[in-house]
Amino acid sequence: MAINYGLDGKVALVTGAGGGIGRAAAEAFARSGASVMVSDVNEAGGAETVTLIEAAGGKAAFVRCDVSNAGEVKAMVAATVATFGGLDCAFNNAGINRITDDQYDDAIWERDIAINLSGVMRCMREEAAYMLQNGGGAIVNTASINGLVGNGGQPAYTAAKHGVVGLARHGALRWAKAGIRVNAVCPGVIETPMTAPLVQNAEMKALIDGMTPMGRMGQASEIAEAVVWLCSPAASFVTGHAMVVDGGATAF
């Protein structure tokens, strides 16, 4: 069920919004009244997200950004402010999740950390710099259940997502008195384009469903609702929180 979280007149920035969780969150922000800056390296996907929002009566624009590039992140935040006149909510969602034969390869490690961890830091840094001068705001970072528990097959991803949770707690402490709330959302396995190969493999999908007490993969819209709630006035006393949305997978 889509809920309006009362964000009329607010401006939201969503990275990794060309599909999956990011697109669902961008649409949810728009349904709640926010103007949405859609960002991604996937220009076609980002443009499609903007079209979907506008077709539903919302306001959106697109800016391309590779979050591993500090200059592009700075330009993204500046474009958001220039286009919509401010920045109230930010969802730092851009990330990659790769399974390869050699997870300890230096190039794999460095790329994963550059996007999944350093990219989040760069976004937080630029978003907070604006919010500190303009009355505060709310930031949510995409972590993962692998930011709370171990994963024997993906050292870089697991380390990065643990770091994302740490960044959220750091930001919450650093900026609490300045009116900036910082939280993280920790999805379980969610049915998105990124996980499509798993869904297409019936044996693998059955295994994943069996690992989740609710017996199914999550939907991008279910993560989006948590994100927009964390950015809304309804969560005004919530900061430094790693919200798990995983169908009970980490309850064992």
Catalytic annotation, residues? 157
**What is the spatial distance between Cα 27 and Cα 40, in angstroms, rounded to a whole number?**
15
The answer to whether the CB of 80 falls within 8 A of the CB of 87 is yes
35 contacts: CB under 8 Å, gap ≥ 6: 10, 11, 12, 58, 59, 60, 84
CB neighbours of residue 24 within 10 Å = 25
The answer to whether the CB of 185 falls within 8 A of the CB of 220 is no
- Report CA 44 to chain centroid distance, whole Å: 19
The answer to whether the CB of 58 falls within 8 A of the CB of 30 is yes
**What is the spatial distance between Cα 88 and Cα 9, in angstroms, rounded to a whole number?**
9
**CA atoms within 13 Å, Cβ hemisphere of 60:** 30
